[in-house]
Amino acid sequence: MKPSEQENRLARAGAELDAMMRLFDTDRESDSREESPDAAYEARKRRDVAELVFRIEALRRRRRRLHRLVASACGVAACVAIWLALPSDGGKTADSIDRYEVPVLIVDNNAPIALTPGPGSTADPSREIAQAGTAETSREPETSGTATNGSPDEAAPEPSLHRILVPAGQTYALQLPDGSRVVMNAESSVSYTVPFAVSLRELTLQGEAYFEIAPSEIPFEVVAGTARIRVYGTRFNVKESAQRGNVTAVLAEGSIGMRLPDGRELRMEPDQLVSFDMTSGDVSMQQVDSETYLAWTNDRFKYTDAALGEVLDDLTRWYGVKLVCPDAGETRLTLDVSRRTSLESLLADLELLVGKKIVTEKRLPMKK
């Protein structure tokens, strides 16, 4: 039954109940005023009143039942609205970023939860879990990176794997269990356990994210490809590109170190960039303006003497359109433009800037 039909039935039942109550009140007033000596008449009146009471109680039960049905229908409608935000898989697994049109949270093997923070806000995924009514609702949100809350003898909660995926054209800011803040770029994903392990706060990144790490005696590491970023300070950016086979880290404040598969660690100072080629094993370090590499967190594309291919990769991730320049070669460019610029306008300006044709190879799913 549709909610509108249920509401109409509820209204009719309410009107009928009100009419019955008025009739009942009239009968009671009449009984109090009249003193009939006819015993049969009195018995009939008592039967009529008893029947009225029975019918009134039945109508009350019916109205309460219809109230519950309408509430249930509204709940189903809300669930359907969330489900519609998660498109059909089209043969893709739950971990495929381009399967979704909104950021989602996947806890262990549970169904994806649509994430909907307000503009500029930092979301706490634990709240999203509680609102979605998953098995996680019984778990108190963690406020630190330790594995226990309360006394040392208290049993540690069973850790669960949290995975957050952000599709093309969007960013997502979240707060980790230890209070650290992470801003994820488009077509990126992170995974981490809740709670963190007692000896190490570890997060795995695919794509790009900006980090502000909360101080703690427990070490924090970002796993990106075959490299690890060991955190000794606060603000930095990490970009892992499986397509290009490299990992870059840029430090804005504090201190971090990039640990390579061979055991080496390159300690970084603010305004330094380290780039690691996962195929060849080559690594390089250079001085940069870190704010240029963090411009995307302020909704801007900003590049200084950047390779055209790298710029097109970023545009592909943001606009959800595969962009290629067949004769890009060693073309480099400097650019500073809002990420809210239309793709058509930006491509026209880029082609004028570099003097080369940029083509669209494949359309990717993106938010309407």
pLDDT in tens, 179-232: 999 999 999 999 999 999 999 999 999 999 999 999 999 999 999 999 999 999
Instruction: Let me know: does 248 contact 222? Beta carbons within 8 Å.
Output: no
pLDDT band at residue 4 using 50, 70 and 90 as cut-offs: low
Measured between alpha carbons, how far is 263 from 275 in angstroms, rounded to an integer?
16
The DSSP letter of residue 185 is P
pLDDT band at residue 327 using 50, 70 and 90 as cut-offs: confident
Mind giving me the DSSP string for 10-72?
HHHHHHHHHHHHHHHHHHHHHHHH-----HHHHHHHHHHHHHHHHHHHHHHHHHHHHHHHHHH
Give the residue extent of every domain in the chain: 3-85, 97-147+155-297, 299-368
Measured between alpha carbons, how far is 254 from 248 in angstroms, rounded to an integer?
17
Q: CA of 265: how far to CAs of 256, 274, 303, 355, in Å? A: 10, 11, 27, 41
Instruction: Let me know: does 277 contact 245? Beta carbons within 8 Å.
Output: yes
What average pLDDT does this structure show over 306-317? 94
Q: Are strands 160-166 and 201-212 parallel, antiparallel or unpaired?
A: unpaired
What average pLDDT does this structure show over 28-33? 50
pLDDT in tens, 92-126: 455 566 678 899 999 998 899 999 764 555 666 66
Q: Which amino acid is at 300?
A: R
Instruction: Let me know: does 28 contact 49? Beta carbons within 8 Å.
Output: yes
Measured between alpha carbons, how far is 343 from 10 in angstroms, rounded to an integer?
52
pTM of the shown model? 0.67
Stronger pLDDT, 172 or 67, i.e. the higher one: 172
Alpha-helical regions (H) of the chain: 3-33, 39-85, 125-132, 290-293, 308-319, 343-354
Stronger pLDDT, 16 or 190, i.e. the higher one: 190
Among the residue ranges 49-63, 140-154, 170-184, 281-295, the one predicted with the least confidence is 140-154
Stronger pLDDT, 3 or 47, i.e. the higher one: 47
Neighbour count for residue 323 (Cβ, 10 Å):
21
Q: Hey, is 320 helix, strand or coil?
A: coil
Q: Based on C-alpha coordinates, what's the Rg of the chain?
A: 31
User: Is residue 144 exposed (0-12), middle (13-18) or buried (19+ Cβ within 10 Å)?
Assistant: middle
Stronger pLDDT, 210 or 27, i.e. the higher one: 210
Instruction: Let me know: does 268 contact 258? Beta carbons within 8 Å.
Output: yes
The pLDDT of residue 176 is above 50? yes
What average pLDDT does this structure show over 73-87? 47
Phi/psi of residue 108, nearest 5 degrees: 50, -120
Q: Which amino acid is at 180?
A: S
The pLDDT, as a whole number, for residue 39 is 58
| SS3 labels along 25-36 | HHHHHHHHHCCC
The pLDDT of residue 143 is above 60? no
pLDDT in tens, 84-94: 444 444 444 55
Q: Are strands 220-224 and 201-212 parallel, antiparallel or unpaired?
A: parallel
In 3D space, the residue among 297, 232, 235, 316 whose CA is nearest the CA of residue 271 turns out to be: 235
Mean pLDDT, the chain, rounded, equals 78
pLDDT band at residue 146 using 50, 70 and 90 as cut-offs: very low
97-147+155-297 is a CATH 2.60.120.1440 domain: yes
